[in-house]
Amino acid sequence: MEEEEYIKKHFFGLVYAWHITQYQWLRNNYWKAEELHIREGILGKLDIESVVTSGEYTKEEIDDLILLTPIELEKELFNRLMEKHYDKIVLNKCPRCDKLARTPFAKQCKYCRYDWH
């Protein structure tokens, strides 16, 4: 469980989790075009097109994803991350106690205080 949280926290960007969840939230809360327009005027346009041009998703895939509940969506994004980007996920573990460090680049253990600088 801790491992899953760590992976989400540090690697969810690989599947554009923030973009997709923001997009879903916008679609659910500002479904009327004029409202969305006003909201974009205040907070800036969410650049979902850049997610499509990245090649990670097709527009159709994104449209399907945002129909899920937020909990299902998070699960789906996590599964996708583990399937498609497993090779990029680095579990930074303490060489002494083998527990997860705070970040992928940390060089000190938050449990046993071991320092591997």
Q: Answer yes or no whether residue 109 interacts with Zn ion by CB under 5 A.
A: yes
Q: Answer yes or no whether residue 30 interacts with Zn ion by CB under 5 A.
A: no
Q: Which residues pair with 26 in a beta bridge?
A: none
Q: Which residues pair with 108 in a beta bridge?
A: 115
Which residues in 8-68 belong to E strands, given as ranges? none
Residue 46, Cα to own-chain centre: how many angstroms? 15
Choose one: 1-9, 22-30, 36-44, 92-100; the region binding Zn ion (CB under 5 A).
92-100
Q: Answer yes or no whether residue 114 interacts with Zn ion by CB under 5 A.
A: yes
In this complex, which beta carbon is closest to Zn ion, that of residue 59 or of residue 107?
107
Token digits for 15? 């599947």
Of 38, 43, 91, 97, the one binding Zn ion by CB under 5 A? 97
